[in-house]
Structure 1
Amino acid sequence: MAMDPALVRLGNMIQNRYKYFRWTRRTAGITFMYVVVVPGIIGYLGYKTDGLWDLRAKRRGDIISER
């Protein structure tokens, strides 16, 4: 069974991606989003909702919100 040349090229490209990577405006923006913005949003939401809900030992009819 012969190897598909397109799949061979794709495999080589994936293995050697680090050799051809360049910092461009686009890659810097994407990196900034995943390193700073996304954790910042998750941290902010976690901080704002800390202690807002107590999901432990709730029964039917009890309210979730504690405030």
Structure 2
Amino acid sequence: MVYLNYNNLDEETQQHLLSVSKKEVERKFGEDLKVYAKENHIEYTTILYEEAVKNLYSYHYIFNI
């Protein structure tokens, strides 16, 4: 679960969540994504970003107001 302060949803917080998600995706699927990117002639960073954004939707958020 991700605990967020409702008053602190600025760009910095959003970028932090995205970087955490990227690290998680890279840890879980990094090698598979590299192979997929190479086979399909796609930038690895592009695929990593797209998968990290998808991964954000799997988080459970709790907002503190």
Range of TM-score over shorter length: 0.3 to 0.5
TM-score by length of 2: 0.32
User: Which has the higher Rg, Structure 1 or Structure 2?
Assistant: 1
Q: Which has the higher contact order (CA 8 A, sep 6+)?
A: 2
**Structure with more helix by fraction:** 2
